[in-house]
Structure 1
């Protein structure tokens, strides 16, 4: 009964009772029974053996069902675990197709609609281009949301079994399975397992789509928030220099005949400096736009770092005229391969930030040193320094350490970090012993340069 089932077991019970009556019960070698007691005994034996055969066959069936349920539970659990660990829709679909192919020993495919509602293969084994019937069945299942294909009552004259992938709202795709055995057919238990796995795949796809939509919504909210911050911050930075320029220009026009040369020169100087300030604000906005769009491309060449620093100082001559700047460069400083325009912007932003927070007459120090295969640069000031916890925040977009005290959109240090990291370096900030803040960044030095070393006239250069 445990091996062949109930029918053979009952047959063997009858045969065993008949053989016992023939060989071991008088009259021997005959089916005639000499005593009625033997009849009762044989009947009891037949009933008992029949009952035992039935119980054994039932236990065998229950064990088979338990094994099938265990197989289904394990398959569902494994599918759930594997789909949960995937962080993209393509990886999720590939894993689902692979698992279903392994469980049913066949070829699985997942078809999802494109923008024009046409089913396209997203994972698994493709349907042959010449097999139009298979594609027609897949389209029918997607439109009607019903099971079809081999071994079913709907469109059975194809090789594959097609199941709709149903989300909570609609059919979102089709699962195709072409088993290698059983003439392309699945028994009822296997079909139920396949339907359960298809439901899991559909739920996982829906969950991934909802996560993607939520992420896109969050990005849209953040973009709107940043746009509002940008407008409120930048409008002030643009309005202030424009107001100063308009005021100075108006005074020149209205009082042209009554102004002496010194006063006219002062107005012209004011217009020039505010125009340069406005240019730096616009330049930072353009750089930030390039960084966010991913269009930042380095145009690296060999340059003398002292010349890069000098160009930055020349741009800020008006802001730094009452703040002494000291520069210390090593005598053996090599040429550095960098994007000169972007690195010049880094120095401009760091020096302008130091000038904003440094009182008149306080020094600003620029120190460069070579440490192994790395160039380390620091820009230090004697301003109020950084509050605890601001060391990382100051590099965030639109963040201002002392809002209201200084002009600025809060983009300069963000641009510095992006440019330094694009060069393979790192930038950080910390408080300076004795007061003030120091901004340090490092850049990797190339193994070889066009010149073995660059030797300036003096190891330490005088203040500018």
Structure 2
């Protein structure tokens, strides 16, 4: 793709190479036409000045001005030389005696012609020097701007892919060539990704020679390819993107057989260096995040072991003690006391069963191995089923179910939702004194069905409301060591509800107590049933 096509695609943005081409290349016919046009215009103005009686000095200065305009309008010094020579000839032909001939009778004219030519040529040469300096300043400014833009864009990147895209785009903006990226993959390179001048992304594989050249660069950590002494027949210049001893990949610049000058190479290496640092920073951040996750998992494992050691020991000790009393032949036990001991053993065994079920369910949800068996379920039926499995301590509380006006259906896994309701009711029973009221209600809320469990216990402080759904967390001491609770019940409730696409939260109940609310996607009543 040529420079003109690239300008079409990028609007007013020029690569550094295009700036150089604009200064060095041009259409000779148009440059000659501009030179002759300026001379013709200057000659007409000078003829007008002569008719008005202006001196020859004014006319000479006018021709020098024409040469300066030629220096500004054309890219090469040859046109300035041509303009200076033709200006002297035109002055001699139109304004010296005899007129309209190239003869000059005055002795001073040869000196005048020589001075006029030298002044015009030197002035035009200085003008072109100033223009070249301005062009170099513009190129240097663009280099600085490209580097600043690259640094700012890299700082805003959040992934390695974004970092690589920024590098490729800046190289394209700087050089005006397509750029190919080959990411490191073990001891080799992944499939190439080429970013075109047009902005398109091409994933076409490289040729075998190009791929071999890129692989050699990756293995030897040296540049190779076009414009180098190694694999110079390649169409790309390949360089490694490396930080410390880590090579992140190889970048290929499609320079063809054109050379990259030292200034361009310097800015390319700066962009690649900044990219390598950004990739190193991204890798270090990923490693820190992985370490944080590992530390969190270790903390969770420690909490789990501590909770299990406490929560299993307490009921097992009670079961063992009660069983020992029942088995003792030396102790006579009244029928009522025997029944109470058996009830205690049953309650502790039931608690251990619920504990194991919650542990297994939480583990499966965390690992993503639970597959929801979604069916159309009636909310009233699930509440009724949950009340059959709540703690035996529910007898000391007043549990009320608010009847619903309509049949509320949800799309859910009935077994898991029953477990949510059981956990929430048991949580209310555990954290409220005997005789407290627990109210279970359900209603339709837009596209969801909302279920609430309200109690009139001591409530939950505002600072604790968000944390109660964390694993191994309880209200009393921040750690699961009271009420024989591992802090898994509410965590499991949140996991199950969110797996269904619903939400769960806790609010205050007035005058005191709290309300746990969860939502599930509503299911419409089938038309046949409605009829």
TM-score of the superposed pair, with normalisation by structure 1 = 0.86
The answer to whether the 8 Å contact 1:333/1:370 transfers is no
Could you say which residue in structure 2 is the equivalent of 1:135?
211
The 5 Å alignment of 1:370-449 reads 370-403=444-477, 405-449=482-526
Match of 2:408 among 325, 334, 343: 334
Displacement of 1:212 after TM fit? Answer: 1.2
Structure 1 residues not aligned, in runs of 5+: 455-464
Report SS of the residue matched to 2:280. helix
- In 2, the alpha carbon distance for the partners of 1:294 and 1:11 equals 82
Describe how 1:47-446 pairs up with structure 2 within 5 A: 47-97=118-168, 100-101=171-172, 104-115=175-186, 117-121=187-191, 123-124=193-194, 125-126=202-203, 128=205, 131-179=207-255, 183=257, 185-255=259-329, 258-403=332-477, 405-446=482-523
Runs of 5+ unmatched residues, structure 2? 1-70, 195-201
Alpha-carbon distance change, 281 to 450 in structure 1, aligned in 2, over 3 angstroms: farther
- Whether the 8 Å contact between 1:385 and 1:436 is mirrored in structure 2 is yes
Cα displacement (A) at 1:221? 2.0
Q: RCO greater where, 1 or 2, for CA within 8 Å and sep 6 or more?
A: 1
Correspondence 1:34-53 to 2 at 5 A: 35=107, 37-38=108-109, 40-53=111-124
Partners of 2:184 and 2:247 within 8 A in 1: no
Secondary structure, counterpart of 2:294 in structure 1: helix
Mapping for residues 14-29 of structure 1, pairs under 5 Å: 14=85, 16-17=87-88
Determine the C-alpha separation between the residues in 2 that align with 1:31 and 1:25.
Answer: 8
Distance 2:405 2:79 in 1: 101
Compare 1-10 and 425-434 and name the one that shifted more: 1-10
CA displacement at 1:411 relative to structure 2: 1.8
Q: What RMSD, in angstroms, separates the aligned Cα atoms of the two structures?
A: 3.0
Cα gap change, 1:188/1:21 in structure 2, threshold over 3 Å: closer, same or farther?
Answer: farther
Question: CA shift at 1:143, angstroms?
Answer: 2.9
Aligned 8 A contact 1:337 1:446 in 2:
yes
8 A contact 2:238–2:253 mirrored in 1: yes
CA distance in 2, matches of 1:86, 1:364: 52
Partner of 2:84: 13
Higher helix share: 2
Asked if structure 2 preserves the Cα contact closer than 8 Å seen for 1:27 and 1:34, the reply is no
Aligned residues of 2:98 and 2:104 also touching (Cα < 8 A): yes
Distance, in Å, in 2 between the alignment partners of 1:294 and 1:450 is 35
The structure-2 alpha-carbon separation of the partners of 1:414 and 1:263, relative to structure 1 and needing over 3 Å to count, comes to same
Q: Call closer, same or farther: CA 1:128–1:432 in 2, change over 3 Å.
A: closer
Secondary structure at the aligned position of 1:329 is classed as coil
Q: Distance in 1 between matches of 2:370 and 2:320?
A: 34
Sort the Cα spacing of 1:26 and 1:331 in 2 relative to 1 into closer, same or farther, 3 A: closer
- 2:314 and 2:418 map into 1 onto residues whose CA distance is 25
Residues 506, 516 of structure 2: 8 Å contact kept:
yes
Deviations 1:341-374 (A, max 9, x none): 1111111110111011111122211122234543
SS in 2 for 1:378: strand
Kept in 1: contact 2:460–2:508 (CA 8 A): yes
Cα-to-partner distance string for 1:164-220 (whole Å, 9 max, x where unaligned): 2122444322101224xx745445544444333323332332222122112112212
Q: CA deviation at 1:410?
A: 1.6
Question: Could you tell me how far 1:322 is from its partner in structure 2?
Answer: 1.3
Distance 2:94 2:399 in 1: 122
